[in-house]
Amino acid sequence: MHISDGVLPTAVSVGGYLISGLLVAWSVRRTRGDDLPKIAVVSAAFFVASLIHVPFGPTSVHLLIPGLVGALLGPSAFLAIGLGLVLQCLLFQFGGLTAIGANLLMMGLPALLAGWVFYHFKGRKRRQRILVGALCGGGATALSAVLLALLLVSGGEDFWGVAKLALAAHVPVVLIEAAVSAMIVSFLIKVKPEMLDTPFAFKKPT
């Protein structure tokens, strides 16, 4: 799901960088020092999950876990995904340098939305937390796929077919992400339930 150099119009690439830069700054200001170890672990999980690509025609699919990242990190999710994307681009050439801003928006915005939804609707019961975790995992991936298609369409008619194929290819990924998120939430409830209680605050923490 990484967009390469030369696909997006210059205005879209620049706009992606500007908006992503503002959101990264917002994410950093709402990140507490005590959360840095957890951010490092979740960023590493995001980094590794995205490394396994399955070819699908002119595109490829892989696990994204934006919903899980959002559920575990809240506002810090945008920062964590940004770090993962930059490392993937520099170390493995996944996605282009000019498209990092757009790629971050594509995966970071659904992660933030999932974090907000999980925090406000997870409740206290185990079954409800697992269900909301599954919905966040699958829903965030579906939203990322839609944003990917919209960004590809902005590149012109030549990318319309690729956009449709990318949407179709991510249908099974959405289901897998929902199942994976549910299993991880269920596991964390047993071994470290405090990881599921990250607050989602728009104000800077004190």
Name the amino acid, one letter, at 192: K
Residue 123 neighbours by CB distance under 10 Å: 11
Cut 0.85: pTM above it: yes
Q: How many CA within 13 A on the CB side of residue 188?
A: 18
**Could you tell me the two tokens for 13?**
């690439």
In-domain check, residue 200: no
Note the pLDDT tens digit of each residue in 137-172.
999 999 998 998 898 888 777 777 777 877 887 788
What is the tally of structural domains in the chain? 1
Range of the domain at 56: 10-190
In-domain check, residue 118: yes
In-domain check, residue 153: yes
Q: Which residue has the tokens 């575990």?
A: 72
The answer to whether residue 88 scores a pLDDT higher than 90 is no
In-domain check, residue 2: no
In-domain check, residue 68: yes
pLDDT bin (cut points 50, 70, 90) of residue 53 is: low
The answer to whether residue 56 scores a pLDDT higher than 90 is no
Query: Stretch 64-71: mean pLDDT, rounded?
Result: 92
The answer to whether residue 74 scores a pLDDT higher than 80 is yes
Write down the pLDDT at residue 60.
58
In-domain check, residue 142: yes
CATH number at residue 132: 1.10.1760.20
The answer to whether residue 115 scores a pLDDT higher than 80 is yes
**Could you tell me the two tokens for 74?**
């809240």
In-domain check, residue 206: no
In-domain check, residue 199: no
